[in-house]
């Protein structure tokens, strides 16, 4: 029962994260159309969130000494790497193609878990990945912008790999006797990511006066500062926080497939708020992504070799204390989906 409740909470957090991340585009696009460079918007997003999380970083400053590698990896890969690689990719290849390649992340994650970590992967998770990736191809209408640019595709693949690191590092931080506080990891990740993006985006060249003006959102004039606040507080702080917590309650591969809903949310919000109409293939693709996410989240990890499946009847030869000890051991060996941390 406890694991089931933790799983439900994890799924809810994963959905909130997907919706929060997916809402970044509809707020960022009007800012870009108002004259801000895309890289400057990315820097404002990371820097603003890092500023909000600065008190949290100070409170968890012990993490710098305890988990320096985790913090550096999260900041370099999960924050800065994804953004830098993606925006560099769309400068060379169509956005739809870049999105599709980036969201191959769940499939790469599944391969990492199965062949590198040598952990069992359920059939439901694999089927969910296939459905989600196929649906994403329809959502972004990849056929409308087919073109081969080796460097652009390599950059998009780099974004996919960085996305995988986001889920792996989020799960890795929950291990050990003293798991890293997720809020502290996010705070330092944003600070480190901001430092890297500062070199890439060069914010000193930005026209700061644009932030005091207004932007057009689907025919409605909105203060640019309000859009920026949404991008920072909801699409970054809330999105990362709920995303990391969801990975710690679900397995990384399941959370990764649910995260594919981000592209669907972004497309639907652009349709509703920006007037960007959906085509029939996009609707079908969105349904496929939803189906894939649903199938994946119903998956349960297989027991490791020599251990009973979680939830099965205990060995009658064990005493009560031995049964509890064995249960604890199995939970430590299985993916995070069985741990309601």
- pLDDT per residue as tens digits for the range 126-166: 787 788 778 877 876 767 765 567 787 788 888 888 988 88
Report pLDDT digits (tens) over 271-329: 777 776 767 787 788 778 777 767 766 654 443 333 433 333 344 333 334 443 343 33
CA–CA separation, 19 and 273 (whole Å): 14
Buried/exposed code over 287-296 (b: 16+ C-beta within 10 A; e: otherwise): ebbbebbbbb
pLDDT at 341: 32
The percentage of the chain sitting over the pLDDT mark of 70, rounded to a whole number, equals 77
The bridge status of strand 220-223 relative to strand 214-217 is antiparallel
Q: Cα–Cα distances in Å, from 58 out to 50, 51, 52, 275?
A: 12, 11, 12, 43
How much is the average pLDDT of 28-38?
87
Q: Cα–Cα distances in Å, from 289 out to 36, 206, 219, 238?
A: 32, 37, 30, 23
pLDDT at 192: 95
pLDDT at 3: 59
Q: Are 264 and 139 in contact (CB under 8 A)?
A: yes
Total count of residues recorded for the chain: 341
How much is the average pLDDT of 207-226?
90
| Dihedral Cα 71, 54, 58, 17, nearest 10 deg | -50
25: its two tokens: 């585009």
pLDDT at 96: 61
Mean residue pLDDT of the chain comes to 76
Report pLDDT digits (tens) over 40-81: 998 999 999 999 999 999 999 999 998 999 999 999 999 998
In the predicted model, is pLDDT for residue 18 greater than 80?
yes
In the predicted model, is pLDDT for residue 175 greater than 80?
no
CA–CA separation, 312 and 326 (whole Å): 12
In the predicted model, is pLDDT for residue 258 greater than 80?
no
Higher pLDDT, 283 or 211: 211
How much is the average pLDDT of 86-106?
71
């Amino acid at each position: 029962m406890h694991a089931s409740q933790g799983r439900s909470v994890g799924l809810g957090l994963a959905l909130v994260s997907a919706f929060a991340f997916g809402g970044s585009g509809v707020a960022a696009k009007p800012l870009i159309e108002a004259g801000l460079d895309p890289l400057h918007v990315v820097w404002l997003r990371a820097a603003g969130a890092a500023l909000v999380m600065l008190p949290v970083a100070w409170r968890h400053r012990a993490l710098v000494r305890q988990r320096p590698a985790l913090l550096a990896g999260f900041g370099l890969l999960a924050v800065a790497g994804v953004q830098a690689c993606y925006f560099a990719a769309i400068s060379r290849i169509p956005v739809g193609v870049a999105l599709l390649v980036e969201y191959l992340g769940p499939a790469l994650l599944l391969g990492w878990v199965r062949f590198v970590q040598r952990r069992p992967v359920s059939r439901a998770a694999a089927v969910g990945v296939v459905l989600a990736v196929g649906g994403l191809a329809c959502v972004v209408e990849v056929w409308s912008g087919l073109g081969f640019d080796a460097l652009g595709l390599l950059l998009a693949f780099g974004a996919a790999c960085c996305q995988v690191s986001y889920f792996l590092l989020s799960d890795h931080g929950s291990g050990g006797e003293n798991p890293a506080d997720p809020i502290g990891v996010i705070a330092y990740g944003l600070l480190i990511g901001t430092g890297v993006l500062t070199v890439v985006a060069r914010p000193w060249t930005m026209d700061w006066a644009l932030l005091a003006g207004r932007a057009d959102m689907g025919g409605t004039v909105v203060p640019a500062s309000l859009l920026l606040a949404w991008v920072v507080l909801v699409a970054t702080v809330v999105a990362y926080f709920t995303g990391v917590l969801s990975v710690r309650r679900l397995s990384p591969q399941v959370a990764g497939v649910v995260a594919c809903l981000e592209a669907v949310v972004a497309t639907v919000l652009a349709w509703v708020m920006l007037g960007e109409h959906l085509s029939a293939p996009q609707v079908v693709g969105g349904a496929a992504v939803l189906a894939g996410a649903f199938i994946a989240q119903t998956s349960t990890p297989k027991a490791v070799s020599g251990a009973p499946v979680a939830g099965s009847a205990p060995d009658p030869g064990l005493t009560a204390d031995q049964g509890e000890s064995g249960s604890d051991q199995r939970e430590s060996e299985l993916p995070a989906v069985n741990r309601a941390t």
